[in-house]
Amino acid sequence: MTESMLDTVLSQFHQAADQLGLSDDHRETMTAFKTVFHTQFPVARDDGSFDIFEGYRVHHNVARGPAKGGIRYAPMVSLDEVKALAMLMTWKSAVVNIPFGGAKGGVIVDPATLSTNELRNLTRRFTTEMVPIIGPDSDIPAPDMGTNAQVMAWIMDTYSMARGYTVPGVVTGKPVSLGGSAGRQDATGRGLSYVLQEHLRDSGGVQGKRIAVQGFGNVGSVVAKLLQQEGALITYIADKDIALHNPAGVDAGAAAAYLAQGHSLPQWYEDQHPACDPVPLDSVLIADVDVIVPAAIEHVLTEENAGLVKAPLVLEGANGPTSQGADAIFKERGITVIPDILANAGGVTVSYFEWVQARQYVRWTEERVNEELRRLITSAYQTICARQQSSRGQATLRDAASWIGIERVVEATELRGIFP
């Protein structure tokens, strides 16, 4: 049977729990999900018909604060996947030490098959179903695959209609004109870039490093653009339809700017004739480069291709891109993995800044947002590195990040005790 993402996340947890010597009671608490919400709801189609859709919202652990996590619109959404992503969010918020617990949500739908009107209907109805469990003090959704700032604006408006007043703190990732934070759009990619700069600080920095980026959406296009600005050579970029290569560097900044006008990566290649060549999609992660950045979907690095990876460093942009088997192979081969719960935490970190701004009715400048992001994520990186080094090379960065995340959640859970 193939390993599901929940299998991976749970086995990563148990591996860290074994290393920490966590008690059975703590293991039971840490693997329990506080709320598992499942809904089936109708959505009116433009032609007057309707279809039933299925959605989930899961809160994992909320000992450290309100549940926080994205909402995904994708055909492969499943309850197991949502649970896995919610658990990752708990550890991620704890790793960067922001006062949130973990949540995730999703609707089984390919948003590309819906008109704008149908997408709004679906979002408003799903939000209405979720009204009892979301809120600025309880659960704060954000964008993920297939959702964006417009979807967040609809969620905010629908929730506000139910309450009778505007509640900007109920979601993050809103449009800036509705109280979204400056810098939120680029935050995950920017966080990845900061973490990589810090990791390579003593080995020449990112300047001249050859980097392959898989996925050219919100995360991949931004990290590619920002690393190019720092002097890296983005030798491969790819989305689900095309992979492009230039040993002297693909102009990722130009590609990102073209996509921002509503075009796709294949269209950029067709229309703009950039200096690069199409290569097979599966060549990107096994390319001869210094760093690979999986920034598309989960489980793209598995036992099948982990042995073929040539890069000495994996920077996890996506959530859960590496299976447990691939992780073991990387450890054996001395390939360093900067784990998702640290590397891509820039998104939730700036979401936290947006939530703080919404609750205080203040606006931070983009400079302040980026500066605070660099401070928090760099400090998290240094704490994790120090912890890894104290294990005398026995632990991976993922082990060390998991230990820190789990310990902080266990401590909060213990201090609060069991009610009543």
CB of 76 to ligand NAD, least distance (A): 10
* DSSP letters spanning 347-415: HHHHHHHHHHHHHHT----HHHHHHHHHHHHHHHHHHHHHHHHTTTT-S-HHHHHHHHHHHHHHHHHHH
Judged by CB, which is closer to ligand NAD: 10, or 281? 281
CB of 122 to ligand NAD, least distance (A): 17
Question: Rounded distance, CA 28 to CA 39, Å?
Answer: 26
Our measurement of the distance from residue 322's CA atom to the centroid of its chain's CA atoms, rounded to an integer in Å, reads: 14
β-pairing verdict for 233-238 and 243-245: antiparallel
Our measurement of the distance from residue 361's CA atom to the centroid of its chain's CA atoms, rounded to an integer in Å, reads: 26
Residues forming contacts to ligand NAD in the complex (CB under 6 A) are: 143-146, 188, 214-220, 238-240, 281, 295-297, 317-319, 344, 347
Judged by CB, which is closer to ligand NAD: 193, or 218? 218
Question: Rounded distance, CA 63 to CA 83, Å?
Answer: 17
Judged by CB, which is closer to ligand NAD: 188, or 388? 188
Judged by CB, which is closer to ligand NAD: 101, or 215? 215
Please state the φ and ψ torsions of residue 211, each to the nearest 5 degrees: -130, 135
Judged by CB, which is closer to ligand NAD: 166, or 264? 264
CB of 329 to ligand NAD, least distance (A): 20
Contact yes or no for 340/405 (Cβ under 8 A):
no
Best CA proximity match to 317, nearest among 159, 136, 152, 193: 193
Our measurement of the distance from residue 275's CA atom to the centroid of its chain's CA atoms, rounded to an integer in Å, reads: 30
CB of 239 to ligand NAD, least distance (A): 3
Q: Which two tokens stand for residue 379?
A: 């400090």
Closest residue to bound ligand NAD by CB: 217
Report the catalytic residues.
104
CB of 154 to ligand NAD, least distance (A): 17
Judged by CB, which is closer to ligand NAD: 188, or 357? 188
CB of 179 to ligand NAD, least distance (A): 17
**Ramachandran assignment for 27, one of left (phi > 0), alpha (psi -120 to 50 degrees), beta (any other):** alpha
